[in-house]
Structure formats: structure tokens, C-alpha cells
């Protein structure tokens, strides 16, 4: 018999933690998991899932407008926020139950409490102590709100899903995908929206063509987009509204301030000081390529480490670690190249592989293909909004290095192309592929003339 209660104990029942737990248990390990908040982690509860449900809801305002051009006469649509929140809550509760049942079916011991390290093999979990040969930290990230006068008046993406009512005016602060998505969501729900970013252009790390195109699209929709400014302080007014004073000397009034300026590893109260685990210079748990920390018995995956903060990445890491520890003959390292991702704003953004800037920095000679066009659905609707599709090709080998898109169903389209890039597709293969007509996706197989060539 082992001297420990568990072969593996997982702190955090989010996407990566649940996957690692179930896989390890399936390989015969004795597994326990501790979660003090909600099963499914950020993605299921205050991230991907509810966000996309809200994004679906926000899309309907444009759908109702567009329907008129196709012959539909509709009564005035009225949006009811409490109905959306109630139905969202029911769906999240259903998913929480599914996660619990999956863990139970895998014979994983679930403890609904926060875990804290006593030493490298011992945890205080609620009112009990447990020991484990190996311990996995999978506690994810937590929204970060900077310190400034009046920051007690703002909310984060955690709280936004539980608002009792949706204010008329909202200021979204940030320039990443969460900020862009919620600016689109609130605007789609027919609220006045301002989007504030401290830099010259939002969506840092995305292809420059996408960033510029999205900025123009957001402005066209009527969102108040402000660059090169930050919040100086926030003051509550007598009528309950908020006066937000900015660093550029201007001010605006709003009813809600949503901060989406990044997330930090959720490590509070874990007791890492009782272990040999170290943090890197960004505050992430330091791990090597096998997810090992400086403490030989402790591992970390997902958003607590300096990796791509995406649910599929955490899932892949959880699976890889379980195999490495308990089924090493089947171990396959995670391939972090060409990982597709999407931003569920309106319209959607999806990106895969290298941006044009990254490809040039890597020394490739390029052929760049770009296409801007009005989607077919927008013609009868009278909507002037354009889609953007872009392909980055290595001029020497003809290999497709990256594909990027802004437009309806961008995520669905780029997901399919991810398989092609993972298989090493060259541009000639795209050229030889017949498109499905009429679709937007066929544009990726009909691009013939590069817009730029090195």
C-alpha cells in the first residue's frame, strides 16, 4: 500500500484539472480534486460558455434589423436582461452537474473546499488533511484590477454575468479579447458603449490588418472607441452615475465600468511558501516542458503557468500530464504551434498561425493575400460591414504560415483550416481545392493574386 492517500491530488476543477483527474483515474491512479468555487472553472462559469451565450443574444439585434431586407416585417423587439441571466444560470448549473457526474463516474474523490499546502505532499483541504504522492496546481487565472482612486466602483468579467440589471451606459476598459467581446455584447444589447485602451491600437499580438479592420468596424457600429488614454480616477455622482476622469484630460459619464485589463494566476492562499515551488518574473508558476515545478512532487498546468490562456490548451496539458505520469508509453507532448483561437465579438475574429509581423520577424520571404468584401447576407440587409480574410505564405516553400479572418462564423471557418495547417498545407493545395459556392469560406481557396510580395 502507498504511504499516501492519493497518487495524484489536483487543486482546481477547471478544464485542465478535470481532464487531468479523469485521465489519471482512468489509468488506475487514485485521484482527488479540490474546488472551493465552481466545477468547470472559469470557462464554464464566468468565461467561454456564458460569454458566448451572451454573444448569441447580442447578435439578435442585428438579425432583427437585417430581416427586414429579406421581407420579414417584425414588431419592435424588446430585450429582457433578467431572462437571459436566468436562462444562462440554468445552463451553467446543468454543466456543473455534468462535470460532477463525470468526476464521480471516473472514481475521482471530490472535495468542495479550498486546498492549502502544508508541505510538498500534504494539503489542508477544508477541515481535513490529505496526502498525495504528486500534487497538481490547476487553479487558473483571476481578473486583475489595477489600483487607482475609485477602483471600488468597477466590476470585472466575473461579476458582469450576474448583474441584476444592465445599465444604459457602459465603459469597457482594456484592449484584449475580453474587452472587445463585451463592448460588442453591450452594444448588441442596445446600450451606449465606450471602449478605452491605453495604447495606440488594441488586440496586441494579433495581425495588424485584423487590428485596424476591427477598429474601423467598431467605430462604424457606433461604439465610442478611445485610444492612448487610461483611467485616472472614478467618482460616484449624486444620481448614482460614475464620472470617469482620464489621463488625457477628458472625462466621461457612465453607469457601469467593466475592467478587462488582464488576469493573474489564482494563487492566493495556496501556501506555496511551504513548498519549493517558485514563480517566474511575471508571477506565473515556473514549470519546465513537462509541467514540473521546482518541487519534484508538484506540477502545474493551464493559466497558472505562462502558456496560452485557452481552454483547449489546458485540456491538452491535463491529458499530456496524466499520460506522462501514469501511462508514459502513450505520452505525447503538447504541440503549441498553429493553435487557432477566436474572439467572439461582432463580427467574429479568428486567427491561426503566424501574423504577418511574426513571419517577417522570423525571416520568411512572404506572399500575402488579403481580401475585403461585403458578405452576401449583408447585401439585401443594407449593411455595409465588410469581412476580412488574410493568408500568409512562405514564398520559398509555398507553405501557408497563417490565416486570419474577421466576419460571420470566423471561428467555425478557421477551425477547419487549422487541420490543413497542422498537416503542413501549401498554397497550391488551397488553389487546387474547389470551394463551396456561395459561401464566405470559399474565399480562402480562390485567392490567386497576392496583395504584397517580398
**Annotation says 437 is catalytic:** yes
Active-site residue, selected from the candidate residues 144, 153, 187, 437: 437
Task: Return the pLDDT at 2.
Answer: 78
> Which residues have a Cβ under 8 Å from the Cβ of 13 and sit 6 or more positions away?
21, 33, 34, 35, 39, 40, 41, 99, 103, 110
> Which residues have a Cβ under 8 Å from the Cβ of 35 and sit 6 or more positions away?
12, 13, 17, 110, 111, 112
> Whose grid coordinates read 504541440?
335
d(CA 31, CA 79): 46
Q: What is the strand order of the sheet 400-406 is part of?
A: 341-343, 349-353, 400-406, 387-394, 366-373, 452-453
d(CA 107, CA 203): 42
The mean pLDDT values, 10 residues at a time, for the chain of 454 residues are 91 98 98 96 96 97 96 94 98 97 98 98 97 98 97 97 96 97 97 98 98 97 97 97 97 98 96 98 97 98 96 98 97 96 97 98 98 96 96 98 98 97 97 97 97 94
> Whose grid coordinates read 427586414?
68
Q: Are 189 and 161 in contact (CB under 8 A)?
A: no
Task: Return the pLDDT at 1.
Answer: 55
Tell me the pTM: 0.95
- At residue 345, the 3 state secondary structure works out as coil
Task: Return the pLDDT at 138.
Answer: 98
Per-residue buried b or exposed e for 38-74, using 16+ beta carbons within 10 Å of the residue's own CB:
bbbbbbbbbbbbbbebbbebbbebbeeebeeeeeeee
Nearest to 424 by CA among 320, 344, 335: 335
> Which residues have a Cβ under 8 Å from the Cβ of 47 and sit 6 or more positions away?
41, 157, 311
CA distances for 319 relative to 14, 99, 387, angstroms: 13, 16, 36
d(CA 230, CA 251): 11
Amino acid at each position: 500500500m502507498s504511504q499516501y492517500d492519493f497518487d495524484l491530488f489536483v487543486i482546481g476543477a477547471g478544464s485542465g484539472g478535470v481532464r487531468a483527474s479523469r485521465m489519471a483515474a482512468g489509468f488506475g491512479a487514485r485521484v482527488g480534486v479540490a474546488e472551493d468555487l465552481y466545477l468547470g472553472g472559469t470557462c464554464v462559469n464566468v468565461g467561454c460558455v456564458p460569454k458566448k451565450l451572451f454573444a448569441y443574444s447580442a447578435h439578435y439585434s442585428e438579425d432583427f434589423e437585417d430581416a427586414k431586407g429579406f421581407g420579414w416585417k417584425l414588431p419592435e423587439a424588446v430585450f429582457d436582461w433578467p431572462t437571459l441571466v436566468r436562462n444562462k444560470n440554468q445552463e451553467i448549473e446543468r454543466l456543473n452537474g455534468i462535470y460532477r457526474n463525470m468526476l464521480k463516474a471516473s472514481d475521482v474523490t471530490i472535495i468542495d473546499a479550498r486546498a492549502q499546502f502544508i508541505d510538498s505532499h500534504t494539503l489542508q483541504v477544508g477541515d481535513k488533511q490529505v496526502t498525495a504522492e504528486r500534487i497538481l496546481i490547476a487553479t487558473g487565472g483571476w481578473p486583475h484590477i489595477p489600483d487607482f482612486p475609485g477602483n471600488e466602483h468597477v466590476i470585472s468579467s466575473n461579476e458582469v454575468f450576474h448583474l441584476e440589471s444592465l445599465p444604459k451606459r457602459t465603459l469597457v476598459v482594456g484592449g484584449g479579447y475580453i474587452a472587445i467581446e463585451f463592448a460588442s455584447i453591450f452594444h448588441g444589447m442596445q446600450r451606449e458603449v465606450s471602449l478605452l485602451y491605453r495604447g495606440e491600437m488594441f488586440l496586441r499580438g494579433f495581425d495588424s490588418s485584423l487590428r485596424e479592420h476591427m477598429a474601423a468596424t467598431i467605430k462604424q457600429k457606433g461604439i465610442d472607441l478611445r485610444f492612448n488614454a487610461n483611467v485616472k480616477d472614478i467618482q460616484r455622482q449624486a444620481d448614482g452615475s460614475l464620472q470617469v476622469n482620464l489621463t488625457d484630460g477628458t472625462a466621461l459619464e457612465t453607469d457601469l465600468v467593466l475592467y478587462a485589463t488582464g488576469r493573474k494566476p489564482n494563487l492566493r492562499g495556496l501556501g506555496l511558501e511551504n513548498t519549493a515551488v517558485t514563480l517566474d518574473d511575471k508571477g506565473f508558476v515556473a514549470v519546465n516542458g513537462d509541467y514540473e515545478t521546482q518541487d519534484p512532487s508538484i506540477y502545474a498546468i493551464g493559466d497558472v503557468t505562462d502558456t496560452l490562456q485557452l481552454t483547449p490548451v489546458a485540456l491538452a496539458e491535463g491529458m499530456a500530464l496524466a499520460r506522462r505520469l501514469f501511462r508514459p508509453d502513450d505520452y505525447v507532448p503538447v504541440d503549441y504551434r498553429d493553435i487557432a483561437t477566436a474572439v467572439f465579438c461582432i463580427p467574429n475574429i479568428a486567427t491561426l498561425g503566424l501574423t504577418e509581423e511574426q513571419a517577417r520577424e522570423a525571416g520568411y520571404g512572404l506572399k500575402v493575400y488579403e481580401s475585403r468584401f461585403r458578405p452576401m447576407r449583408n447585401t439585401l440587409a443594407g449593411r455595409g460591414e465588410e469581412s476580412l480574410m488574410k493568408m500568409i505564405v512562405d514564398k520559398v516553400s509555398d507553405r501557408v504560415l497563417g490565416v486570419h479572418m474577421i466576419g460571420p462564423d470566423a471561428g467555425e471557418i478557421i477551425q477547419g483550416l487549422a487541420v490543413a495547417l497542422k498537416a503542413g498545407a501549401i498554397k497550391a493545395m488551397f488553389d487546387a481545392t474547389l470551394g463551396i459556392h456561395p459561401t464566405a469560406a470559399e474565399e480562402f481557396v480562390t485567392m490567386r493574386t497576392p496583395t504584397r510580395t517580398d
